Amino acid sequence: MTAKSPLGGRAGEAHAVWPVALALAAGLALRLWLLRSLFEVNGDSLIYGGLAKNLLLHGRFDLTLPSGEVYPTLIRLPGYPIFLAFCFRLFGMENYYSAACVQIALDLLGCLLLAEFARRIAPSSVSRGAALATLWLAALCPFTACYTAEPLTETPTLFVLALAMWAMARFRDEPNWPNTLWFTSAVTCATLLRPDGALAAIAFAPAFVIGLPRGDGPGEIPLRKLVRMTAACVLLALAPFAVWTARNWSVFQVFEPLAPRLATDPGESANPGWERWVKSWCLDFISTYEIYWNVPGDRLDVSELPDRAFDSPAQFAETAALAADYNNHGMDLTPEIDARFGRLAEERIAAHPARSYMWLPLGRVADMWLRPRVENLPVDLDWWVYAHHHAETEFSWGYAGLNALYLLVGIAGLCMRPRFWVALLAYILLRSVLLLTVEAPETRYTLECFPMLFAGGGIAFSLLARRFHRAASKLKAPLGNG
């Protein structure tokens, strides 16, 4: 990485440094405040931390039972446990706070990379303005910033996506080995953090080489060298997954190059009937939080299910009886109970195929894109019930408006067709299509698209500002002549 300012000037020029420093200071202040307010360790964070701890103590990718016994697992990819293990080694075992601090640094560095990316892809007349606008949009976005306080994969994933975008733009301007290796490292790390990280390679790799000038002149690359680079990058990218796949085969005798979709170990029931039944009615995050995450292991209260979970009084009675049997069997999804959920799901799907295969998936994706991103905040899940909490409802609608603003300006900027706009839009579309398959929506699943929205939004703001300046100048000209 170079010392060049994302505004395009030398690093020592005050006019380039101070706007950047101010944006970073504001971003740091926001993240430190969120760290103080929101930091907690539970759920998935403890799973990742347990894997990291056993990597350090035993050199094995294992989880620990309450009894202290350890057992091998493949329900998570090794990327984030390795990151936590690195933090634990440097700052102390189970020091999750240090990991959050490292994530803050990574996130701010990612903001700089996105600003430099926007500078490179925007029209030259607005490149500096696009870089600064992108930096402010990224640094002050509360939706991404709040995850720096959570020991989860989101922040490192956003960082490596920014790194991949930065390297992609640099390679097209300077097709050399360092930029190639930066890109390869970024998309590999994205996939090691989350299985869906592979979408970055699918969306960005074609733009990495298609249209690249080939030859021996400046900015060109010989075809033979491009082939060597491609082959080396593919081998480097696949190497970690070859090791991971070999480990999973050796330990479990299964072919698993990534991680199971439903995060289950071999031999562990994935509860397909329950999953299919939930998918036949689940539409928003409140159902994910109150129902999906709590079963098995907690009571299933039919009164908490939405009306769309029943198509008739008879189906309500059948569901209530099934829930009672589940509750009376120790809140365990036995094979027989799971099969009954599956038969109920098939009945609902057969009666309303369009709802099951079109409207509900589209509704879940819309919920993940448009819902107020308050899942990490002390805001009730029924935020829309104004009578229960006026302030929380008003805040949530404001958050929804801010989310819509980021979405609108980001897409508007991409529609202005800067360089790589097809690759950025392809990533957003591919991720949205993938999310059509999700049973239970969470807004954080669309968070990985925000680096593209930041860059697009920065370009949109800079172009609009330039047009406004031109219009203002034309209005002033007649006055000056008079």
Residue-wise pLDDT for 118-146, tens only, equals 999 999 999 999 999 999 999 999 999 99
pLDDT tens string 260-282: 999 999 999 899 999 999 999 99
Categorise residue 253: left if φ over 0, alpha if ψ from -120 to 50, beta otherwise: left
Encoded tokens for 121:
């892809």
Radius of gyration of the CA atoms of the chain, in A: 25
Sequence-distant (6+) residues with CB within 8 A of 234 are: none
- Give the pLDDT band of residue 381 (cuts 50, 70, 90): confident
Report the percentage of the chain scoring pLDDT > 90: 83
- Give the pLDDT band of residue 4 (cuts 50, 70, 90): low
Q: What is the DSSP letter of 357?
A: I
- Give the pLDDT band of residue 11 (cuts 50, 70, 90): very low
- Domain coverage including residue 281: 272-393
pLDDT of res. 380: 86
Higher pLDDT, 191 or 9: 191
pLDDT of res. 151: 97
pLDDT of res. 385: 85
Per-residue pLDDT, averaged over 54-72, amounts to 95
> Is 380 inside any structural domain?
yes
Alpha-carbon distance of 215 to 174, in angstroms, equals: 13
**What value does the mean pLDDT of the chain take?**
93
Per-residue pLDDT, averaged over 176-198, amounts to 96
pLDDT tens string 199-245: 999 999 998 778 777 776 666 788 888 889 999 999 999 999 999 99
> Is 12 inside any structural domain?
no
> Is 334 inside any structural domain?
yes
Q: Tell me which amino acid residue 201 is.
A: A
Q: Tell me which amino acid residue 133 is.
A: A
Q: What is the DSSP string of 39-98?
A: ----THHHHHHHHHHHHHHHSS-EEE-TTS-EEE--SS-SHHHHHHHHHHHHH-TT-HHH
> Is 336 inside any structural domain?
yes
> Is 352 inside any structural domain?
yes
Report the percentage of the chain scoring pLDDT > 70: 95
pLDDT of res. 477: 64
- Give the pLDDT band of residue 166 (cuts 50, 70, 90): very high
> Is 347 inside any structural domain?
yes
pLDDT of res. 14: 56
Q: What is the DSSP string of 133-175?
A: HHHHHHHT-HHHHGGGGS-SSHHHHHHHHHHHHHHHHHHHHS-
Strand, helix or coil at 221? strand
pLDDT of res. 338: 96
> Is 53 inside any structural domain?
no
pLDDT tens string 104-119: 999 999 999 999 999 9
> Is 363 inside any structural domain?
yes
**Sign of the C-alpha dihedral computed for residues 33, 373, 309 and 281 taken in this order:** negative
pLDDT tens string 15-47: 678 999 999 999 999 999 999 999 999 999 999
The number of domains in the chain is 1
Query: Is the distance from CB of 204 to CB of 190 less than 8 angstroms?
Result: no
Q: Which phi and psi angles does 415 have, rounded to 5°?
A: -70, -15
Per-residue pLDDT, averaged over 365-370, amounts to 97
